[in-house]
Amino acid sequence: MNPDFDDPQLESEIDRQLKDLPELIAPRSLVPRTMQLIAQLAAVWQSRSWSTWPMSIRAAFIVVSVALLAATVPGLRAFEQNLLVPMFAKLNHWGASSEWIWNAATALASAGTAIVNHASKGIIFSCVLAIVLAYAACIGFGTVFVKLALSDAKKN
Amino acid sequence: MTDAATFEAFMRNYQNMVFSTSMRLTGNIAEAEDISQEVFLKAYERFDDLRENPRAPGWLKTVAINLSLNHLSRHRSRWTLFTDFFRPEDNPDISEPEFAAPENIEEDLARSERQQWVEAALRKLPDAQRVPLVLYHIEGLKYEEIAAKLGVSLGKVKTDIFRARDTLRKKLVPQLKKDWMGHV
């Protein structure tokens, strides 16, 4: 050691002054922000891959999965007998009685054909034109409103 | 108490110690707060071991020192390059930390004022001087341990600590000559 560096009096005085310093007060935000981060980290374990889950949660997951599987096998038979079989029987019954839907659709189509045959071409053309214009207006206004909304969002 | 509440109480108990350690090593409030947060996140991971452990304060202090040194070497790298080029006005963090109030209200104001001068002078030291000085005088490490932690030679540690003391003396004597160092 360079003897010029030895100044015991200076060293002891600096030592005394520095050791006399009180603890600084931590910012008030330290505890809340750390606790918030801890809560966030604790909350996201389920969104990470299974291998990185906490060991206790992985063990619990395996136990619950096995229990669910064990309960499912006998439960499936009861489910089939008590729910699926009656449900399919009802569906077959509805299928047989669904003829009225086809009849109603056929009647509506016939009515439409009769209107077209008896109405003048001018009225039909006007109706088609009104429908096309309404559709175009919907698309146009929709595009304008979406662009306005996006431009406001970008400004904000 | 829930685990979170217990940990919060643990944190409140040691936050000033951890913050003081990292603040005096980094010299920057924002960095010290980030480091303190990192220290407590590590503590939370090992809270089952730490909650009843009498060595918890020592563990926290060691982690605070190591993280502060890692932070300094990673983000500043001033140990060897900038020792001689540092200007105190380069320090961007101009806000002052708060000091703990004296336990005795009647404790003389001169002492409190002196402590604030010392703290301010300490913060204005360049990293290369302040860090070994704090590790030696406040954290009680030996020269060899400081050299190993900082990855520099023993001679550089001694030189930097000597320069730090000398700089402190020059900064403090005008304000403190009534109290101390009458010999200078």
Walking along chain B (184 residues) 10 residues at a time, the average pLDDT comes out as 83 95 94 95 90 92 95 68 43 53 60 85 91 94 93 93 91 67 47
**For B161, which residue in chain A has the nearest alpha carbon?**
A5
Residues 6 or more apart in contact with residue A48 via CB below 8 angstroms:
none
What does the pLDDT look like over A116-156, one tens digit per residue? Answer: 788 777 888 888 899 999 999 998 888 888 888 777 665 55
Contact B2, B42 (CB under 8 A): no
Q: Report the pLDDT value the prediction gives residue A50, as an integer from 0 to 100.
A: 73
Distances (CA, A) of B107 to A83, B17, B97: 83, 22, 21
CB contact under 8 A, B138 and A21: yes
Interface test mutation site (partner B, options A15, A17, A33, max chain B beta carbons within 10 A): A17
- Which residues from chain A sit within 8 angstroms of residue B158, using beta carbons? 1-2, 5
User: A60 to chain B, minimum CA–CA distance in Å?
Assistant: 20
Interface test mutation site (partner B, options A29, A34, A37, max chain B beta carbons within 10 A): A34
Q: How many CB atoms lie within 10 A of CB B127?
A: 22
Residue A21: how many CA atoms within 13 Å on its side-chain side? Answer: 30
Contact B181, A12 (CB under 8 A): no
Locate all alpha helices (DSSP H) within B29-108, ordered by sequence.
Answer: 29-45, 47-50, 56-75
Across chain A, what does the average pLDDT equal? 81
User: B54 to chain A, minimum CA–CA distance in Å?
Assistant: 20
Residue B22 backbone zone (phi > 0: left; psi -120 to 50: alpha; other: beta):
alpha
Model ipTM value: 0.75
